[in-house]
Chains A and B, each alone.
Chain A
Amino acid sequence: MPLLRKEVVKAEEGEIFDVELSKDILKANQLLAEENKELLHKNRVRAIDVMGAIGSGKTSLIEKLVQQLKNKHRIAVFKGDLTTTIDAELIARHGVETVAINTGKECHLDANLVKKALLKLDLNKIDLLFIENVGNLICPAEFPLGSDKRVVVISVTEGPYMVVKHPFIFMDVDVVAINKVDLAKAMGTDVTKLEKDVKTINPEALVVATNCRTGEGVDSVARALQL
Chain B
Amino acid sequence: MDTQKQRDVISSAVCVVIGFFFCIGSLRHGSIRSVFPNAGLFPLLGGIILIVLSLITLIGAWMKSASADREKEKFFPQSYSFKRIVLFLIALVVYTAVLEFFGFLLTTFLFLIFLLKAIESQRWRIALMISLLAATGSFVLFEVLLKVQLPYGIFGRVFR
Tell me if chain B binds chain A. Answer: no
B contact residues vs A (CB 8 Å cutoff)? none
A contact residues vs B (CB 8 Å cutoff)? none
